[in-house]
Amino acid sequence: MQTDADGAERERLLAILDFWHKIEFFIPYDLSSRVVAAAGRTVFWLHAKTLEDDGAALSRPAIPEEKQITGFTLFLGVFSKSEIADIRRHFDSVAGDISEYEDAERGDLDGDTCFASLQLSPLGQPMFETFSVSTLPWALGRVRKSGLSSLSHEAFAGSKQQLSELLQNFRAQRQLRSSSSEDTDDQPIDAGEILTLHELLCDWAGFASRQEKPIAAVEIRYRDRAEKPEVLSLPPPQENNAPDADDEEDESANIEEEIGILNSFFIEDIEQAIMGVKRGDIPKPLRQYLTPLAQEKRIDLYSEDGRRAIVRALHPGNLNRGRWLSEPHHAMSLMQQFAINTAIGDLSETGLSSVNGPPGTGKTTLLRDMFADNIVRRARVLSSLKTARDAFGGSARRVAFADRSTSSISALIPALAGFEMVVASSNNAAVENISRDLPKRSAIANTCSFQYLQTVANKIACQKDNGATIKLSDGDRPWGLVACALGNSRNRRAFKERFAFMEITDRPKPGWSGPDKPQTIWEWLKSYDGPTFAEASAAFHAADGAVRDKIGQCARYADLHDEIAQVSQDAFCREAVEGVRAAESEFRQAQDRCNMVQAEILRIREGLSHLKEEEQLLDRSAPAWWERVLPNAPARQHRQDVGANARGQLELRKALAECERRLAKTHGPARTPAGRTGAQIATGNLVPEERRIRSSRDDSRSSHPPRASRRSRDRSVPD
């Protein structure tokens, strides 16, 4: 059930996305930078008044004799970027400083832009599947007519559908004008059709330039005749790219899906995000991206709090378990490792993490370590399985392909999903370079002998589209199939063919052996003679355990460092010293009590000794036996003296027993814990201190043999 807070949050996110969506409509395509003549490329302008003459000249382009045309790009509806200037006032009413933001970020309004682009074959035939339209002229016309509020993804989707229908009508009329039964898409485009397309676009957008500009520009690409003609990186027809047979429809029915966005890289993504938020499907990364971090959670890494945050993040316990196969001495810098540890910790399940820095600061380098850690985490799941077959769950699914062939495909278990990595950027070339460079031998340490599907990777790298192979340099030779560039349909198709199907036209080669031997995945499987799944799992567990133990040792050292770092010896030992002093005081008090009892014991023993001597004297001075039977005074006195002596000895022996009991049961044990506590605090080790106390006690007993002997003798005297 949706609460008011949920509804308010959804409205907030939609407002942000809607505003960005509107901004994105007004980002102009930079035609001026595209139509600059360069090596292998020239530009031809088409004007409305002279279109017939310009078109005739275009059909016979003036290029060097030794060159051949490889393709054209037709840019329709040229107009100046400065047309945007009067639209900014609409944004001022929405966000006060948007014009300043636009000046800073969207910047330069010098130069030209256009309505749309269309690729032409080397013979001038239009390739309508490459048609891309700019949102800018549509947005300009819409705002001038109905205001900024009329811009929405629903409105643009409807207009895009309308444009697709207009293009279908254009192609149908082109077909009707043709006198042959052949598809007119095989005929070169002519001047009249270019003018018709220009008018069609202006009517569709409700916008026409107020300045005198050419209605179109043509980029002509050429190269040496000796070279192989360029193969355009164009998306294949829809029916060849459909996931299953049910999606196969005629091209005209799907044309609106093929209309690309010329000027914006993000507008379709923003539209998808808007639709998701409306459905209540708000991924955590999107929510994080659209929600400002609370001020109390912001940390300036140059402050003292930031320094502590860096130290916490760099704790060895947060270290990534996987490391790229680079030179051992090429460790991450402090802030690289901070970024890695922070990202791995924050993105354990999902989320968003940003690493910013100018070129050359090591962002791609730290990305490699994150790749490696991702591989290790996935390997940990794999190694927990009993067999390789356990990686797949449920029954196989029957899948139908566009060519009506079918195949059975088993799905991975959920535990093995979620480790996939897609590297994406607005700079496609940079991302493709990362994907292509990771498998190269130059990307790992010179001393590293590790390899993974190396022969398959070598085939993908060295094979060309026609099946022939090229010789790779040592640095370009792959070490393993760890990444590939799959950003467009041509790349995906080339990977699929080289990975699994395409034969090598010039095989065999004498030098092809070992890692240089190109193989498809099926050939590799047949020739595999490496460790079994169980052996590989055991080897991984051993390596993983060794790394875990080593990191555990470093983590314990780090914890110890946290305890004692920046602390003086006196401060570190203060608690222990106070404990020792308290134990010493308690020990002295117990010792004083023991000394008092021992003094009392000594006094009692001395009293017993006097009584014993008196007893001996009484024995010597006793009257004769016949005198003792007589009732005389000396005999009576002697009997009284003997009785008093015996009673005195009994009382002293009772007192001695009580003192010895107190010493053994109360005061002595009180002294021992105090000594043990002091030893524990001072040394952290109880056993040696306990031995010392026992040894001292034994020494104390052995240092008084006469007293012990006398006590033993006293106890032997009859009462």
pLDDT computed for residue 174 by the predictor: 82
More confident residue, 241 or 22: 22
More confident residue, 407 or 711: 407
H-run or E-run covering 618? helix 569-620
Q: How far apart are CA 27 and CA 134, in angstroms?
A: 9
Q: How far apart are CA 444 and CA 324, in angstroms?
A: 8
pLDDT computed for residue 550 by the predictor: 94
pLDDT score of 526 more than 80: yes
Comparing 20-29, 107-116, 187-196, 526-535, which segment has the lowest mean pLDDT?
Answer: 107-116
Whole-number average pLDDT of the chain: 78
Q: How far apart are CA 440 and CA 450, in angstroms?
A: 12
pLDDT computed for residue 37 by the predictor: 76
- DSSP letters along 65-78, please? TTEEEEEEEEEES-
Q: DSSP letter at 42? A: E
* Highest-pLDDT range among 88-92, 366-370, 421-425, 504-508: 366-370
pLDDT score of 157 more than 70: yes
Comparing 54-58, 461-465, 474-478, 541-545, which segment has the lowest mean pLDDT?
Answer: 54-58
H-run or E-run covering 221? strand 216-224
Q: Which of 148, 141, 146, 186 is nearest to 163 (CA)?
A: 141
Q: How far apart are CA 339 and CA 322, in angstroms?
A: 15
pLDDT computed for residue 398 by the predictor: 86
Q: What is the pLDDT of residues 215-230, one digit of tens each?
A: 898 888 888 775 444 4
Q: What is the mean pLDDT of residues 572-591?
A: 85
pTM across the whole model = 0.60
pLDDT score of 344 more than 60: yes
Asked if residue 259 lies in contact with residue 103, where contact means CB atoms within 8 angstroms, the answer is no
pLDDT computed for residue 608 by the predictor: 85
Q: How far apart are CA 322 and CA 540, in angstroms?
A: 12
Q: How far apart are CA 194 and CA 206, in angstroms?
A: 18
* Highest-pLDDT range among 150-159, 337-346, 408-417, 534-543: 534-543
Q: DSSP letter at 103? A: I
Residue carrying structure tokens 């994105």: 24
Q: What is the mean pLDDT of residues 683-712?
A: 41
pLDDT score of 613 more than 80: yes
Q: Which of 365, 530, 373 is nearest to 451 (CA)?
A: 530
- DSSP letters along 228-273, please? PPP----PPPHHHH-SSGGG---GGGGHHHH-EESS-SSHHHHHHH
Amino acid at 6: D
Q: What is the mean pLDDT of residues 470-496?
A: 85
Report the Cα 380 to chain-centroid distance in Å. Answer: 16
pLDDT score of 544 more than 50: yes
pLDDT score of 506 more than 70: no
pLDDT score of 449 more than 90: no
Q: What is the pLDDT of residues 347-402, one digit of tens each?
A: 777 778 888 888 888 888 888 898 899 899 999 999 999 999 899 987 888 888 76
Q: What is the pLDDT of residues 231-270, one digit of tens each?
A: 433 333 333 333 333 333 333 333 334 578 888 777 778 8
Q: Which of 585, 587, 646 is nearest to 611 (CA)?
A: 646
More confident residue, 63 or 235: 63
pLDDT confidence tier of residue 484, bands split at 50, 70 and 90 = confident
3-class DSSP assignment, residue 392: strand
Q: What is the pLDDT of residues 294-327, one digit of tens each?
A: 888 888 888 999 998 999 999 999 998 999 998 8
Comparing 21-30, 80-89, 93-102, 602-611, which segment has the lowest mean pLDDT?
Answer: 93-102
pLDDT score of 169 more than 70: yes
pLDDT confidence tier of residue 188, bands split at 50, 70 and 90 = confident
pLDDT confidence tier of residue 695, bands split at 50, 70 and 90 = very low
Q: What is the mean pLDDT of residues 139-160?
A: 84
* 503 φ, ψ (degrees, to nearest 5): -75, 155
On the CB side of 125, CA atoms within 13 Å amount to 10
pLDDT computed for residue 539 by the predictor: 94
Q: How far apart are CA 645 and CA 712, in angstroms?
A: 19
pLDDT computed for residue 56 by the predictor: 67
Q: Which domains does the chain have, with CATH numbers?
A: 30-263 (no CATH), 569-715 (1.10.287)
pLDDT confidence tier of residue 708, bands split at 50, 70 and 90 = very low
More confident residue, 667 or 291: 291
In total, the chain counts a number of residues equal to: 719
pLDDT computed for residue 32 by the predictor: 87
Q: How far apart are CA 107 and CA 399, in angstroms?
A: 49
Non-local (6+) Cβ contacts of 30 within 8 A are 111, 113
Non-local (6+) Cβ contacts of 338 within 8 A are 310, 313, 314
Q: What is the mean pLDDT of residues 162-175?
A: 88
Q: What is the pLDDT of residues 547-569, one digit of tens each?
A: 999 999 999 998 888 877 777 87
